[in-house]
A and B are shown apart, each in its own frame.
Chain A
């Protein structure tokens, strides 16, 4: 070729190649922007659903259940973006299009969107009265609510619950699309409280059949979101005797959700609803679940991860695109009962915090990949990392320190030899209730060996599913390594009220396992043995209370000018960690999820700290 022609050819080739690249990039970008709709998302669930109230939205308190309700079945006045991080913790409109806060923070007026209908078999528009139904069920103890304490701030809520009034005085519905809440006192987190699944609208014509029957509405849950329980269209609601559970949820092993025909996507910018069907199946073995994910029979799982599977996905670069980790907003901890010896002495509780090899406990969960060592009560993410440097019991390598533990023990009434060891007979054979998860079998030897270093020995009792026992104060369990606590919503109050308020301790389903703030009168009524006398700073014995501090922090509101509320809660965390010491926190877990090859798009919901099921796409 002669020179000019060669140059032309070269130029032409460059243009062609450039065009090819642009086209390829364009189509790849187009493919990325178009997330596939359709298909079935198959989710494995380890061992048992573990619902705390059989998926009845009024009482259900399992975080993993919130993920299902919030993304797929239950719309609420306000909701979330179903995204990770701070964006996923922000309050956005859901059924309410707008709201007004007046009367010094004591009145909330919500205006509802139009076009929101109940799914089959109810098939009618949602009105403000349907929210009243939900709150009335929340108020009545017989309907099984487990976080009703969030709504006691509504005028007349408690009175209605006790049967002293016919309606809840503080909730009014001037018309079908307006609902007004009048509170006894300002509550800075009230918007968060009405984002909880229990406050979603419920059809009275169906829920009246479950009046007084806690936990039974779950199998007939009427949807307001993108999906419904399969078979709901066949459920007969003409009378309570004709009403049967929907076929799609058998209560034990399978929950099958299909699209809700009455759902109007145009009213819902936050839920994308990609799959046609979402199916949850219980599987006894975590090993089997991850084998199935690899084979494509399952796409996702709510399950512990066997360490060898974790190792495989964390270290193999070709599997990295199926390995997702997000902040868990969750603390795993050893709980100590403030009424049971030797943990009724703060010296002993502090010593326990010093002696525990937290790094080994975390290793039992899968090591640093699974999460970070916890240093205080509330995960750092909820305080925007302001308390990052607060590590009151920090030891080299987080392996614990015998010297510091013994120093903390000195002065305890149980340190009879005055040598920093728990030598009183009450220190030997202390009842420890353990669960049977794989992580429990790995943590127990560490906990037992470490406690022995300060003279405490345990009588270990293991039970599969330890929560119900720990949640019953009359069982008087001194110490348990099972608990974990995830935020209810992104306000620190959810890490304090349910856990440390002495006034809300209930006989069953109690979440203040340490019994902080319990009074002698309550102890007698609840069947708690042991010493319930108030805290004596001189001896370190007795039960401290943080009720006053809780009330103070709860009344504060964060503004543009000051984080008074957050700062108040930070102080409370410091106080609890060093002066009350009800726990040995050891792990702030990430939420680690592994997906199959079928999953083309994965998203995390920071509110529920679960996968955002409606935003996950499958082939």
Chain B
């Protein structure tokens, strides 16, 4: 009996299509309802960050920076709560809380995403190099990361404030200036070491796996192994820790604002609004509720998204 060769058309007959890794990811991801919901929320938040502030300003007719002391504060300067004109009530200085919450999304997301992104990038590089190459590179980088973790973050931030906050140009001829840039820089500076340690740990275990050994025996270069074998396996934990880092960064920004190192006082941020909430907690519930709610939703969304992404990307798990 001769074998019947499969013609291309016959070969294409059965419902069997090759799927790329991205296709696989997408098909898995779209099954995850929670993750899709989270992605939608984040998309909405990004929209708010971009356009929410100006739209809120247009719709309510209240500017982001005007203090409505005569209408929205009582005789003692205590802010008044939500009404038909001020949907979220007034913030600690008599400004429209709804408008400021919308503008706050921009500040908080910018700081959160960019600072975390930079921290993860640095941590990834350092951790990979330390974990893969071992030896003196590992020793130097790991000890450096340990020192970074041991540094008292708030004290250094205070030091930078004291040194660089009192002039218009700041320190180093304008390189270190109070504002969004320095906040992102300081947060990234103190956050990368945690990522580096995690990445290093994962790298150490991955590099001992069979498929890495196989690739090495086939003559793959270090670069190829790092980018083709190790990095894809790191994406899962990286995503999880990035999504954990984002809300942490947003809150770090709030603490820095309190010290005077942060965004200018008239720029809104959820952290700054929550600081005011602490001052008026017993008389102004709206100050805590609305920015807090947005922060909770943002944190939840990033976490759910992170979970979903990790599940969909995880090459080991069979779901």
Q: Which of A214-237 contact B (CB under 8 A)?
A: none
Say which one of A59-67, A171-179, A360-368 lies at the interface with B: A360-368
Smallest CB–CB gap between B158 and chain A, Å?
8
Q: Which residue of B lies closest to A430 (CB)?
A: B168
- Bitwise, A296-317 to B at CB < 8 A (1) or not (0) is 0000000000111011001000
Q: In this assembly, does B297 line the interface, its C-beta being within 8 Å of a C-beta of chain A?
A: no
Q: Which of B67, B70, B77, B264 contacts A366 (CB 8 A)?
A: B77
Smallest CB–CB gap between A560 and chain B, Å?
44
Within 8 Å CB of B154, what residues of A? none
Taking A308-B280, A363-B69, A431-B168 as contacts, is the C-beta distance between A464 and B77 under 8 angstroms? no
Within 8 Å CB of A431, what residues of B? 167-168
User: Complex formed: what's the CA distance from A72 to B74 in Å?
Assistant: 40
Q: Are the C-beta atoms of A307 and B93 separated by less than 8 Å?
A: no
Q: Are the C-beta atoms of B259 and A311 separated by less than 8 Å?
A: no
Q: Are the C-beta atoms of A436 and B258 separated by less than 8 Å?
A: yes
Q: Are the C-beta atoms of A463 and B65 separated by less than 8 Å?
A: no
Q: In this assembly, does A429 line the interface, its C-beta being within 8 Å of a C-beta of chain B?
A: yes
User: Complex formed: what's the CA distance from A340 to B216 in Å?
Assistant: 68
User: Complex formed: what's the CA distance from A433 to B165 in Å?
Assistant: 9
Q: Which of A308, A363, A448 contacts B282 (CB 8 A)?
A: A308
Q: Are the C-beta atoms of B259 and A442 separated by less than 8 Å?
A: no
Q: Are the C-beta atoms of A436 and B260 separated by less than 8 Å?
A: yes
Within 8 Å CB of A460, what residues of B? 264-266
Q: Are the C-beta atoms of A445 and B78 separated by less than 8 Å?
A: no
Q: Which of A420-475 contact B (CB under 8 A)?
A: 429, 431, 433-434, 436, 438, 441-442, 444-446, 448-449, 459-464, 469, 475
User: Complex formed: what's the CA distance from A256 to B283 in Å?
Assistant: 35
User: Complex formed: what's the CA distance from A441 to B161 in Å?
Assistant: 17
Q: Are the C-beta atoms of A357 and B260 separated by less than 8 Å?
A: no
Q: Are the C-beta atoms of A442 and B260 separated by less than 8 Å?
A: no
- Bitwise, B67-105 to A at CB < 8 A (1) or not (0) is 101100111111000000000000011110000000000
Q: In this assembly, does B44 line the interface, its C-beta being within 8 Å of a C-beta of chain A?
A: no
Taking A307-B76, A436-B258, A441-B93 as contacts, is the C-beta distance between A463 and B69 under 8 angstroms? no
Q: Which of A438, A459, A464 contacts B260 (CB 8 A)?
A: A464
Q: Which of A311, A360, A445, A463 contacts B161 (CB 8 A)?
A: A463
Q: Are the C-beta atoms of B276 and A441 separated by less than 8 Å?
A: yes
Q: Are the C-beta atoms of A360 and B166 separated by less than 8 Å?
A: no
Q: Which residue of B lies closest to A452 (CB)?
A: B65
Within 8 Å CB of B156, what residues of A? none
User: Complex formed: what's the CA distance from A469 to B162 in Å?
Assistant: 10
Smallest CB–CB gap between A439 and chain B, Å?
9
Smallest CB–CB gap between A430 and chain B, Å?
9
User: Complex formed: what's the CA distance from A287 to B283 in Å?
Assistant: 13
Q: Which of A340-389 contact B (CB under 8 A)?
A: 357, 359-360, 363-369
Q: Which of A306, A363, A369, A445 contacts B95 (CB 8 A)?
A: A445
Q: Which of B66, B77, B165, B266 contacts A444 (CB 8 A)?
A: B266
User: Complex formed: what's the CA distance from A588 to B260 in Å?
Assistant: 27
Q: In this assembly, does A477 line the interface, its C-beta being within 8 Å of a C-beta of chain B?
A: yes
Q: Which of B167, B265, B276 contacts A475 (CB 8 A)?
A: B167
Taking A441-B92, A445-B93, A449-B67 as contacts, is the C-beta distance between A464 and B259 under 8 angstroms? yes
Q: How many residues of A contact B (CB 8 A)?
A: 40
Q: Are the C-beta atoms of B282 and A442 separated by less than 8 Å?
A: no
Residue from the set A307, A368, A438, A469 with the largest chain B CB neighbour count within 10 Å: A307
Q: Which of B92, B265, B279, B280 contacts A462 (CB 8 A)?
A: B265
Within 8 Å CB of B265, what residues of A? 434, 441, 444-445, 460, 462
- Bitwise, B17-53 to A at CB < 8 A (1) or not (0) is 0000000000000000000000000000000000000
Q: In this assembly, does B306 line the interface, its C-beta being within 8 Å of a C-beta of chain A?
A: no
Q: Which residue of A lies closest to B161 (CB)?
A: A463
Within 8 Å CB of A364, what residues of B? 69, 77, 93
Q: In this assembly, does B178 line the interface, its C-beta being within 8 Å of a C-beta of chain A?
A: yes
Taking A308-B283, A448-B65, A461-B168 as contacts, is the C-beta distance between A442 and B77 under 8 angstroms? yes
Q: Which of B162-180 contact A (CB under 8 A)?
A: 162, 165-168, 178
Smallest CB–CB gap between B90 and chain A, Å?
11
User: Complex formed: what's the CA distance from A448 to B95 in Å?
Assistant: 13
Within 8 Å CB of A314, what residues of B? 76
Within 8 Å CB of B76, what residues of A? 307-308, 310-311, 314, 363, 366-367, 369
Q: Which of B78, B161, B162, B165 contacts A307 (CB 8 A)?
A: B78
User: Complex formed: what's the CA distance from A360 to B72 in Å?
Assistant: 11
Smallest CB–CB gap between A86 and chain B, Å?
30
Taking A308-B280, A441-B276 as contacts, is the C-beta distance between A357 and B69 under 8 angstroms? yes
User: Complex formed: what's the CA distance from A496 to B45 in Å?
Assistant: 56
Smallest CB–CB gap between B17 and chain A, Å?
60
Q: Which residue of B lies closest to A308 (CB)?
A: B283
Within 8 Å CB of B167, what residues of A? 431, 461, 475
Smallest CB–CB gap between A470 and chain B, Å?
10
Q: Which residue of B lies closest to A315 (CB)?
A: B76
Q: Which residue of B lies closest to A429 (CB)?
A: B168
* 10 residue pairs, one from A and one from B, having the closest CB atoms: A462-B260, A360-B69, A445-B67, A307-B76, A431-B168, A363-B77, A311-B76, A367-B75, A308-B283, A445-B93
**Residues of chain A whose beta carbon lies under 8 Å from any beta carbon of chain B:** 287, 306-308, 310-311, 314, 357, 359-360, 363-369, 399, 429, 431, 433-434, 436, 438, 441-442, 444-446, 448-449, 459-464, 469, 475, 477
Pairs across A and B, CB under 8 Å, 12 listed = A359-B69, A369-B76, A433-B166, A436-B260, A445-B94, A445-B95, A445-B266, A448-B65, A462-B265, A463-B161, A463-B166, A477-B166
Q: Given contacts A431-B167, A442-B67, A462-B260, list 17 more A-B pairs with CB under 8 A.
A: A308-B78, A308-B280, A308-B283, A310-B76, A363-B69, A364-B77, A366-B76, A367-B77, A399-B70, A429-B168, A441-B265, A442-B94, A446-B67, A449-B65, A463-B161, A463-B165, A475-B167
